[in-house]
Chain A
């Protein structure tokens, strides 16, 4: 007996609070890496934020476990938390950097940019 989906925080719309991808940009200067990373100057890792709904729609690509954990939270034990909003898919980033030897290196790093979010 799952209740209707509702906003978690009164006064905030569902869209504002529901688990979703948020764009976020940081510079390598802010990370203190500008001395050895030549390009790009900016990095957009993005992040996932929001509440996971009680009914996990298919767009969230949640595993079965997340559905069960939701039910446990709802019906059995409130101390078991609801699933968390975390990245689902990532994309790589290409970096041009200076190595300790002085060589210039182009390198692709996997899983550096969050592309979508899931509840799990």
Chain B
């Protein structure tokens, strides 16, 4: 087991232990007692995992996407707009924060549920990116991936790469989930509850591995590390 102090020390020397450096960058800091996520996002990613890797974790030969990292991002904020006729609209805010220099975004989609069942009615939904002043309409994305049942996907790769994906720092992607009531019945307050639980989330595809971390030489590492005198003696050539 790697203790917290050791973990910090290991993370500071990714050149020496690139795997630990990569793993610890991604590991949660508050690990003890942490609850694993549940619900639809987890189900979605587990389905994606099973499609792309066998039970031992070996990547399958025929994978459904050409990326070696896929991140599911849940909305950081959501607002339900007042209903208008048969339309029920919700705005979702996704925080985009590239946390690695070597992350190359190759695909970005919004996964959503196209049909929401309520007790006496059901809603047909679609999603679109939402700028504050005007809605931006895009063509429907490619239906190439085998998605878990009951999920649809909207490809936003070009939009996110051109308008949202930050070179540095944080940006917010606004998405509207627009649902239309199919029957002329009273929905009541149930719609906001139905929209409040994981109706849509962002799925980002990257091409990167910890191998792509630029490796500095041992000498450079030691020069950057003021307390590296002891290590430096190890690096001296032996006569």
Contacts and interface: CB of A to CB of B under 8 A. Distances in A.
Q: Do A and B come from one complex?
A: yes
Interface of A: 31-33, 35-36, 38-40, 42-44, 91-111, 113
A115 to B, nearest CB: 10
A91 B52 contact: no
A40 B45 contact: no
Say whether chain A's binding surface is mostly helix, strand, loop, or mixed: strand
B211 interface: yes
Given A98-B37, A105-B69, A109-B209, 10 more contacts: A36-B31, A43-B57, A91-B58, A94-B49, A94-B57, A94-B58, A99-B28, A104-B45, A108-B59, A110-B209
Nearest to A106: B70
Given A40-B56, A94-B53, A104 B28 contact: no
Interface residues of B, number: 40
A107 B37 CA distance: 17
Contacts of B91: none
A110 B209 CA distance: 7
A36 B27 contact: yes
8 contacts: A38-B36, A40-B53, A94-B52, A96-B46, A98-B36, A101-B99, A102-B37, A105-B72
B157 interface: no
A4 B1 CA distance: 45
Contacts of B8: none
Residue in A36, A99, A100, A104 whose Cβ sees the most chain B Cβ within 10 Å: A104
Interface in B26-46: 26-29, 31-34, 36-37, 41-42, 45-46
A35 B49 CA distance: 18
